[in-house]
Amino acid sequence: MNSYLVPLEEARFVLRELADLDRVAQLPNAESLADAELTESILTEASRLAEGILEPLNATGDRDGARWTAEGVTVTPGFKDAYRQFIEGGWNRLSMPTEYGGQGMPMLLSAAVREIFVGANKAFCMCPGLTDAAVHALMLGADDALKAYYLPRLVSGEWAATMNLTEPQAGSDVGALRTRAVPAADGTYRVFGQKIFISFGDQDLTDNIVHLVLARVAGAPEGSRGVSLFVVPKFLPQQGWQGARNDVQCAGIEHKVGNHGSPTCTMVYGAAGEGAVGWLVGEENKGLQTMFVMMNQARFIVGMEGVALSERAYRQALAYAGERLQGRAAEGSAQPVPIIRHPDVRRMLLSMRSQTEAMRALGYVLAGALDLADGHPDPMVRQEYQDFVDLMIPIFKGWASETAVEVTRTSVQIHGGMGYVLESGASQPLRDVLIAPIYEGTTGIQANDLIARKVLRDGGASLNRWLEQVDRTQTEAAAQPALEDLASSLGEAVASVRLVAQWFAQAHRERPLDVFAAAVPFLKLAGIVAGGWLMARAALAASRLLDATDASESESFLRGKLVSARFYAAHVLPQTGALAVAAMQGSAATLDEWALKV
Amino acid sequence: MNSYLVPLEEARFVLRELADLDRVAQLPNAESLADAELTESILTEASRLAEGILEPLNATGDRDGARWTAEGVTVTPGFKDAYRQFIEGGWNRLSMPTEYGGQGMPMLLSAAVREIFVGANKAFCMCPGLTDAAVHALMLGADDALKAYYLPRLVSGEWAATMNLTEPQAGSDVGALRTRAVPAADGTYRVFGQKIFISFGDQDLTDNIVHLVLARVAGAPEGSRGVSLFVVPKFLPQQGWQGARNDVQCAGIEHKVGNHGSPTCTMVYGAAGEGAVGWLVGEENKGLQTMFVMMNQARFIVGMEGVALSERAYRQALAYAGERLQGRAAEGSAQPVPIIRHPDVRRMLLSMRSQTEAMRALGYVLAGALDLADGHPDPMVRQEYQDFVDLMIPIFKGWASETAVEVTRTSVQIHGGMGYVLESGASQPLRDVLIAPIYEGTTGIQANDLIARKVLRDGGASLNRWLEQVDRTQTEAAAQPALEDLASSLGEAVASVRLVAQWFAQAHRERPLDVFAAAVPFLKLAGIVAGGWLMARAALAASRLLDATDASESESFLRGKLVSARFYAAHVLPQTGALAVAAMQGSAATLDEWALKV
């Protein structure tokens, strides 16, 4: 029922034709990408694990989620064994540093692999995903002693890690946190406070759990400038295997709409009185800086969750539509036909598919850009990619997560009454992805970041550089008769982005609130254009490969890609007109003093 | 947390200013509407019951849904007592026939009351709602003996009724059903078969349950022309109080995304061997005709569920946004502010509010039209309203249910992380309403009905008559400087509807599939325009009342209404352009032979 067919042909195509594969492959540690066969075999092996081990546990996790007792959290039956196989295969450490046992793969490849795993079982992937993030935070901020002790065990997967930011009064505004850290005589700290929404804050998968905790040292400045980062392990370090229990407890887990296999914990530090023992990572009051450096990656990963769950939902809906017999075909048939033959079901499937492909394309392109921004030998080139990444991350995170909600909901609709029944599995992608537009910064937060830090701060320079790339693609497509409609839709959509950006440039001084009220419509507009840009590039590549004699893609794949691009041009790109109007003319009503009085 | 504030001022305004209240009030049985004080007191009393009795059980139903055992289904704790109070107050029989003890109120009033109840507790309302539908079916089709036996008990609420249409292979295509009815010597029938998705198919609220069952008599024609309607009671008639158990069993209930308080049953007829005893309603093979006559009402009610749950979600989000302190205001503030002060949160709230108001306006206008189509003394006038109803029902059902999914999801987003936690109640309206675009005919089915039976069949005549009404409103608004933007948005949107309708008229002969692939975009386009038409009428009325000295509405209500209309004009109406493009240019990709091969 829940078959998850990993789109390998699509992954290969996007890697090669859209993402900067050749350029990324020249980076240090990127040999795996240079070797097409190796890339292929990694993707194939990942798919095998995903289909064989993770996928069968996805519905189990939904039905039989993590459970809390006073002794601790137990995960879904089967997760333990899957985790063992996952780390034995080294899948947890694809993008972890080689000096601690990781594989140091480029993001471009690990992102493709991650999509496969998350599509098969998002809840399971939260645990290794957070450990991956914590490893990168420690690499950035921790001293050698902390690194030497924690990194080998985290990289091996023997231990897992968590990220502790949110508190009841400190969600989007992390700087409002109140957890305290009191310096102790031995150079460690004692941590007191409560954190909420901590994924895998407790579990029985690993022998130890390493909590990265944001807290405030006594006397620190208010707000985000007074936040420090600490390592607080569940079991304290000790010669030999495992030390004493630290003063950190999981006080409960949330009952959620989805992600049942991933325990969302309330963590209490220092309840026993003495405080939880913590070690400072980096300098005092610089905790958020370390977190911010990781933020691009974290937000990128949430965008990829949107891609993965959209793909999963699409595959489920496609399979169902091919099997479910109901109604006669419009052209007249004696027997019931599979519903995939009904025009509106096709429309829904293509709307899922074309948007998922557009999102994936942007995800991979961004992954390659993250690699190049990080590792290219030429600092000018690094900066160029960094500018692109900084601009595009909030767009990708916001647009892909919001679009994924729409795409996964369409799958429920295609399933009809069965979509509403939990056992069919049709609603799980929607329920699992509904948190994506919220965590790691809501869509509103992404949009404010986009406007204030990415568009207005540099006077639109990086936005314009990207739009010039879009123009080039648009010109190229306009030269091909078969892609004229696509080019024309894309041209109008790009013009909308420019129009709104110009309006921002004028409006933000006199009416800054108007600009912020327009931020999300602009983000969606930019996301749709980014997707359209890459669908146009994909269509250009597919056209070329259809004429080539040595294309490795099948004809049906390439023609399908052209159809997706045309569908996107007719159904998705035109939405940009309304978003531009909403952005430029919609703020007055939003901010009207009478707006929300009743 | 879950406070449901019934929007009485809004209800009064829409009844009086938008729906044809004065005209409806002149109909027989509509005295209640003619008397403003009586109307008011009915709405106030309904609100009191909703807030005091139904609302507190809404979260209970979600958490502690109906349960199945082999002995039968038990409902959520507290539902029994609430049901008793509900029927004691006569709320179940507002629109039931007076000759059997009902109150025979016009739909216009009962729809307003129903919105209040459904907003407070949708799952609970399914039981009396289905009984109401069954009473109308029996009024239409049953003979006097059946009426005399069943109607008094159903109208009193002593017994409840269910509607049994769907079978595993017969969902959207009801005509594919296989349940058999075998004539018995005494004029009754023996029914054999399985029905699924039967709401309140079993429960412990009432002494008896009267199942209306669609089945096929041996030798009947295939498809929808061979379907008959039967009454199959859980307990057989007998002199005195209650007869023997009939051969009908609830074999299980579904675990669903929402609506947990409403048991969704699999019903098995005739499993013991002899068959369940059933009585024919009306003539053999005419069962679907009776059902079709009721269909407008059933679809109308689902649209109103969209309104009710959108209103509920809006109220929850508004309350949360007013209380939740997070972040500083954009203009700079030392302390955290309620998130309602953040521009994007305001944008989300207004998008919920303006669309909910537009949907409600259409719902009430339709309710009034249903009354006039049914009861106006002049057959010409009846026909006029009937044409409007026939055109508008699929639009309202499709658009309001789809929009409600978007609106209720926005509430989850406004709640941030808490939105994802079940205990907050934020996700319940979304989970409860997710079935609305599916049951009583999916959005695709509504759209096909709209195109084929309502637009193409009469050559666009009833569509054009409605659009002329919209034109008049548009002209009136254009004459007021303050409503110019609204008038201009509405004008463009109406032009889009006409453009697509003309394209349909041309395309449907040569390329009928193209037209059906465009059906849902057209339905959404028409729905947005219908909402815009009524928001413009509401704005005209609000402007007038602001200048009037004797308006009963508060200034903040009237100014708020003007803001809603302006918001709708800038954020919602412009979406029609993209929908028109999708309809007219999007079918080729949808129907491309390569579209869904991979």
| DSSP string for B470-481 | HHHHHHHHHTSG
Integer Cα distance of B533 and B544 in angstroms: 17
How many CB atoms sit inside 10 A of residue B223's CB?
15
CB B426 within 8 A of CB B415: yes
> Domain B161-285: which topology?
Butyryl-CoA Dehydrogenase, subunit A; domain 2 (2.40.110)
Tokens of B216: 């096929």
CB A340 within 8 A of CB A323: no
Burial of A88 (0-12, 13-18, 19+ CB in 10 A): exposed
pLDDT of residue A551: 87
pLDDT of residue B240: 53
Q: Is it the case that residue B496 has pLDDT exceeding 60?
A: yes
Q: Look-up: residue for tokens 């303050």? A: B482
Q: Is it the case that residue B439 has pLDDT exceeding 50?
A: yes
pLDDT tens-digit series, residues B355-366 = 999 999 999 999
Q: Is it the case that residue A1 has pLDDT exceeding 50?
A: no
The model's confidence at residue A362, banded by pLDDT at 50, 70 and 90, is: very high
**Is the torsion defined by CA of B586, A345, A352, B303 positive or negative?**
positive
CA nearest to B590 within chain A: A347
Phi, psi of B168, rounded to the nearest 5 degrees: -50, -40
Integer Cα distance of A385 and A379 in angstroms: 10
Q: Is it the case that residue A241 has pLDDT exceeding 60?
A: no
- A566 CB neighbours in chain B (<8 A) are 588-589, 592
Q: Confirm or reject contact between B48 and chain A (CB < 8 A).
A: no
Integer Cα distance of B105 and B113 in angstroms: 11
Q: Is it the case that residue B519 has pLDDT exceeding 80?
A: yes
Phi-psi region for residue A223, left (φ > 0), alpha (ψ -120 to 50) or beta? left
List, in sequence order, the alpha helices (H) in A269-378: 287-323, 343-375
CA nearest to B344 within chain A: A517
- In the beta sheet, which residues pair with residue B269? B193, B248
Integer Cα distance of A558 and A548 in angstroms: 11
Assembly ipTM: 0.97
| CB contact residues (below 8 A), chain B span 330-389, against chain A | 330-331, 336, 340, 342-350, 353
The H or E element that residue A564 is part of is: helix A555-567
CB A469 within 8 A of CB A477: no
Integer Cα distance of A435 and A254 in angstroms: 13
Q: How far is A87 from chain B (nearest CA, A)?
A: 30
pLDDT of residue B571: 98
Interface test with B, best of A485, A563, A587, A593 (most B CBs within 10 A): A563
The H or E element that residue A252 is part of is: strand A248-253
Map residue B182 onto helix, strand or coil: strand
Q: How, if at all, do strands A276-281 and B160-164 pair?
A: unpaired
Q: Is it the case that residue B242 has pLDDT exceeding 90?
A: no
pLDDT tens-digit series, residues B220-236 = 999 999 999 999 999 99
pLDDT tens-digit series, residues A375-430 = 999 999 999 999 999 999 999 999 999 999 999 999 999 999 999 999 999 999 99
pLDDT of residue A2: 42
Percentage above 90 pLDDT, chain A? 91
The model's confidence at residue A293, banded by pLDDT at 50, 70 and 90, is: confident
| CB contact residues (below 8 A), chain A span 242-261, against chain B | 254-258
Q: Do A326 and B173 touch (CB under 8 A)?
A: yes
DSSP A43-111: HHHHHHHIIIIITHHHHHHHHS--EEETTEEEPPTTHHHHHHHHHHTTGGGTTS-GGGT-----HHHHH
CATH class of domain segment(s) A8-154: mainly alpha
The model's confidence at residue B580, banded by pLDDT at 50, 70 and 90, is: very high
How many CB atoms sit inside 10 A of residue A464's CB?
15
List, in sequence order, the alpha helices (H) in B480-518: 484-510, 512-517
**Is the torsion defined by CA of B342, B344, B347, B349 positive or negative?**
negative
Q: Spell out the residues 6+ positions from residue B493 whose beta carbon is closer than 8 angstroms to its own.
A: B525, B528, B529, B532, B573, B574, B576
**Burial letters B421-436, b for 16+ CB under 10 A, else e:** bbebbbbbbbbbbbbb
How many CB atoms sit inside 10 A of residue A52's CB?
12
Lowest mean pLDDT among A113-127, A239-253, A532-546, B413-427: A239-253
pLDDT tens-digit series, residues B504-517 = 999 999 999 999 99
Q: Is it the case that residue A28 has pLDDT exceeding 60?
A: yes
Among A172, A342, A520, beta carbon nearest to B326 = A172
Lowest mean pLDDT among A488-492, B29-33, B159-163, B250-254: B29-33
Q: What is the mean pLDDT of chain B?
A: 95
Q: Which whole-number Å values give the CA distances from B100 to B147, B152, B470, B596, in the listed order?
A: 9, 5, 40, 55
Integer Cα distance of B500 and B525 in angstroms: 9
| CB contact residues (below 8 A), chain A span 566-585, against chain B | 566-567, 570-571, 574-575, 577-578, 581-582, 585
Task: Write B139-143 long-range contacts (CB < 8 A, 24+).
Answer: B139/B97, B140/B282, B140/B290, B140/B293, B140/B294, B141/B229, B141/B281, B141/B282, B141/B286, B141/B290, B142/B231, B142/B281, B142/B282
Integer Cα distance of B551 and B541 in angstroms: 11
Query: CA dihedral defined by B196, B200, B204, B209, rounded to 10 degrees?
Result: -80
Lowest mean pLDDT among A40-44, A212-216, B410-414: A40-44
Integer Cα distance of B166 and A96 in angstroms: 53
Phi-psi region for residue B538, left (φ > 0), alpha (ψ -120 to 50) or beta? alpha
Q: Is it the case that residue A321 has pLDDT exceeding 90?
A: yes
Interface test with A, best of B356, B428, B438 (most A CBs within 10 A): B438
List, in sequence order, the alpha helices (H) in A376-426: 379-414
Map residue A262 onto helix, strand or coil: coil
Lowest mean pLDDT among A104-108, A252-256, A358-362: A104-108
Integer Cα distance of A87 and A109 in angstroms: 18
Can B440 be counted among the known catalytic residues?
A: yes
Phi-psi region for residue A346, left (φ > 0), alpha (ψ -120 to 50) or beta? alpha
- B403 CB neighbours in chain A (<8 A) are none
Integer Cα distance of A176 and B107 in angstroms: 52
The model's confidence at residue B8, banded by pLDDT at 50, 70 and 90, is: confident
- B405 CB neighbours in chain A (<8 A) are 409
Query: CA dihedral defined by A122, A127, A129, A132, rounded to 10 degrees?
Result: -170
**Mean pLDDT calculated for residue range B76-100:** 97
Q: How many CB pairs under 8 A join A and B?
A: 284
Q: Do A413 and B512 touch (CB under 8 A)?
A: no
- A423 CB neighbours in chain B (<8 A) are 254-255
Q: How, if at all, do strands B264-269 and B276-281 pair?
A: unpaired
pLDDT tens-digit series, residues B120-147 = 999 999 999 999 999 999 999 999 999 9
Integer Cα distance of B13 and B7 in angstroms: 10
List, in sequence order, the alpha helices (H) in B324-442: 343-375, 379-414, 428-433
CB A353 within 8 A of CB A535: no
